[in-house]
């Protein structure tokens, strides 16, 4: 299994937490790699550390916002959508990660209101 997936060994086949498998401790060490971001590309001790590292990343947040835009707009973003993406990011960070505020910023933007 790849290093990114190893922390998820802490969960069994139905998603329940486990500390041991066949009487041996489960190895949950892994790594995030090949992102091009030094703060992300590091080893992780377990799934909780992986989750927090990803949750605290600006790169991951911006990727999430970009995918929300693509889903709701039904298209990829254009250069002319940069103000909308910036407003979405600002609304999301100002509201401490509120998905509702992220959608409000998108659905009230010129990109959405004047879409073709």
For 74-97, the pLDDT digits (tens) are 999 999 999 999 999 999 999 999
Residue that has been written with the tokens 């990829």 in this structure: 76
pLDDT in tens, 11-70: 999 999 999 999 999 999 999 998 888 889 999 999 999 999 999 999 999 999 999 999
Q: How many angstroms separate the CA atoms of 77 and 92, rounded?
A: 18
Q: Say what angle helices 58-73 and 82-94 make with each other, to 10 degrees.
A: 120
pTM of the complete model:
0.79
């Amino acid at each position: 299994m790849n290093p990114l997936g190893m922390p998820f060994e802490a969960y069994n086949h139905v998603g329940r937490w486990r500390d041991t498998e066949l009487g041996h401790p489960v190895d949950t060490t892994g790594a995030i790699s090949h992102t091009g971001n030094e703060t992300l590309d590091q080893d992780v001790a377990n799934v909780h550390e992986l989750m927090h590292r990803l949750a605290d990343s600006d790169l991951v947040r911006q990727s999430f916002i970009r995918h929300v835009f693509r889903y709701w707009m039904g298209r990829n973003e254009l250069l002319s959508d940069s103000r909308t993406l910036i407003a979405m990011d600002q609304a999301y960070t100002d509201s401490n990660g509120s998905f509702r505020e992220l959608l409000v910023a998108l659905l009230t933007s010129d990109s959405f209101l004047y879409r073709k």
